[in-house]
Amino acid sequence: MTTNHELFARARQLMPGGVNSPVRAFKSVGGEPFFTARADGAWLWDVEGKRYIDYVGSWGPMIVGHNHPAVREAVERAVRDGLSFGTPCPAEITMAETIVTLVPSVDSVRMVNSGTEATMSAIRVARGATGRSKIVKFEGCYHGHGDSFLVKAGSGALTFGVPTSPGVPKAAADLTLTLPYNDLDAARALFAEHGKDIAGLIIEPVAGNMNCIPPDDGYLQALRTLCTEHGALLIFDEVMTGFRVALGGAQAHYGITPDLTCFGKIIGGGMPVGAYGGRRELMEQVAPAGPIYQAGTLSGNPVAMAAGLAMLRLIQAPGFHDDLTARTERLTDGIAAAATKRGIPFSVNRVGAMFGLFFTNQTVRSYAQATAADVAAFNRFFHGMLEHGVYLAPSAFEAGFVSSAHSDAVLDETIAAADAVFARL
């Protein structure tokens, strides 16, 4: 039998850090990753045959569980007709119709191949449409790995961009202004100073890349107002929240209308897909309707569209999101109660089927609080859970995801594992 350890040793010889996306390497929690052989429902099986209850769900897409027969069969049917055409295909229209119907702020949509492409394209539209060059993002929010987004705040809220990755040119970083999440005064001050230069403000409406942090009451609406007052576009990055926190995404959950929205993950059903869309007059400026260029050899791929459409059909079942929310609540309430019983400082954030676990007794509303929580305790908890056959995201700064395949028995098994791990933490 090939072991996880042997595979990781081989992988490290061949790929940077042994992986094709950094967090998979377990660097922040320590130890070595397992290699998945197959996945089904709420579970992953590694190459050594060990089974894990999975709360990563391929980082969000697997909202109906892994290997759902309806999605798999849709892909199998699509594959019989060919893998890629390079011409328009009918499934793209059905996909666009579905998105436009489910997300009322979107009149027109362009498919791409990843969340990164969606956000990069959306800010190009914002810049092209406004004729301005600056964008605003939030400390701790992740929008993929485009140059403009690999920037976090310096010492103050109004600090100009500081590249957080070598290779991001200073000239590009200087165009990204960063703000602390959930700090409205900082946003008002930034807009007062730079408003006329800001093309767009991009935000994860529920932050899911600094663990899980919901927006304060009224915060998103206040950002909407600020953007409108200053002629900047409000861009919701719903790559994670889209079709998850509610059928219509976070914008439906909170009742906000952004100008542009970015999607990914769930709309691909597990295939590499992203999309961006918004008001018609903005999207009509995208090539070939307009002059803002953006393209993709494999965009609107028929197999990917089939997977995404099958997924989107499943999640439109009446009560799907209410049920998922109830499952997530059962999980997080159970884990929090176990922590309290064991006297462990612990708090939970949850919006729909997204959740965050923090080793602190504060309610976490900011990046500063998220980073101040006890990361070492999280790492011990992560490894303890892994030993008990529960796979949480391998970082204290990632949200967790529940799927409809997480039955009550699976959730209760997870809570029992957490209780056992807390007991010896």
User: Footprint of ligand PLP on residues 18-77 (CB under 6 A)?
Assistant: 59
Interacting residue with ligand PLP among 143, 152, 350, 406 (CB under 6 A): 143
For residue 137, give Cα distances in angstroms to 172, 196, 373: 13, 16, 23
Between strands 390-391 and 51-54, the pairing is parallel
How far, in whole angstroms, is CA 358 from its chain's centroid?
A: 18
The reply to whether 265 belongs to the active site is yes
- C-alpha of 111 from chain center: 17
The correct pick among 98, 119, 148, 261 for binding ligand PLP (CB under 6 A) is: 119
Active site (annotated) includes residue 142: yes
Number of residues this chain uses to bind ligand PLP (CB under 6 A):
16
Rounded Cα gap, residues 123 and 366, in angstroms: 24
Minimum distance of ligand PLP from residue 262's CB (angstroms): 7
Encoded amino acid at 341, one letter: K
Q: What is the DSSP string of 233-277?
A: EEEEE-TTTTTTTSTTHHHHHHT---SEEEEEGGGGBTBS-EEEE
Q: Binding to ligand PLP by residue 382, rule CB under 6 A?
A: no
Q: To the nearest whole angstrom, how small is the minimum distance from the Cβ of residue 272 to ligand PLP?
A: 7
Closest distance to ligand PLP from the beta carbon of 170 (Å)? 23
Q: Does 176 bind ligand PLP (CB under 6 A)?
A: no
Q: Using an 8 Å Cβ cutoff, are 401 and 63 in contact?
A: yes
Residue 239 within binding range of ligand PLP, rule CB under 6 A: yes
Question: Among residues 203, 240, 392, 411, which is the contact residue for ligand PLP, using CB under 6 A?
Answer: 240
User: What is the torsional sign of CA 337, 339, 342, 344?
Assistant: negative
Closer residue to ligand PLP (CB): 44 or 239:
239
Rank residues 139 and 237 by Cβ distance to ligand PLP and give the closer one.
237
Site for ligand PLP contains 128 (CB under 6 A): no
Residue in 46, 237, 259, 367 annotated catalytic: 237
- 138 interacts with ligand PLP by CB under 6 A: no
Q: Which is nearer to ligand PLP, 189 or 298 (CB)?
A: 298
C-alpha 173/C-alpha 159 separation (Å) is 11
Q: What is the spatial distance between Cα 63 and Cα 44, in angstroms, rounded to a whole number? A: 14
Alpha-carbon gap, residue 246 to 262, rounded angstroms: 15
Q: Tell me how long the chain is.
A: 425
Residues whose CB is less than 8 angstroms from the CB of residue 301 and which lie 6 or more positions away in sequence, other chains included:
83, 84, 113, 271, 273
Question: Does 182 engage in binding with ligand PLP (CB under 6 A)?
Answer: no
Q: Determine if 183 is a binding residue for ligand PLP (CB under 6 A).
A: no
Alpha carbon 332 to chain centroid distance? Answer: 19
Contact 176, 158 (CB under 8 A): no
CB of 115 to ligand PLP, least distance (A): 2
- Give the residue ranges of DSSP H helices in 275-374: 280-283, 302-315, 320-341, 367-372
- Binding ligand PLP (rule: CB under 6 A), the pick from 54, 183, 237, 259 is 237
DSSP type of residue 344: -
Residue from 105, 209, 251, 379 touching ligand PLP (CB under 6 A): that is 209
Which residue out of 142, 181, 254, 391 is catalytically annotated?
Answer: 142
Tell which one of 57, 264, 269, 356 touches ligand PLP (CB under 6 A).
264
* Closest distance to ligand PLP from the beta carbon of 294 (Å): 15
Catalytic residue among 137, 181, 265, 276: 265
Q: Does 148 bind ligand PLP (CB under 6 A)?
A: no
116 counts as binding ligand PLP under rule CB under 6 A:
yes
26, 52, 142, 236: which one binds ligand PLP (CB under 6 A): 142
Residue 288: cis peptide before it, omega within 30 degrees of 0: yes
Nearer to ligand PLP, 106 or 417 (CB): 106
Tell me if residue 59 falls in helix, strand or coil. Answer: helix
Q: Which stretch binds ligand PLP (CB under 6 A): 108-116, 288-296, 299-307, 311-319?
A: 108-116
- H-state helical runs in 359-407: 367-372, 375-387
Active-site annotation holds for 391: no
Site for ligand PLP, rule CB under 6 A: 59, 114-116, 119, 142-144, 204, 208-209, 237, 239-240, 264, 274
**Which sequence positions are flagged as catalytic?**
142, 237, 265
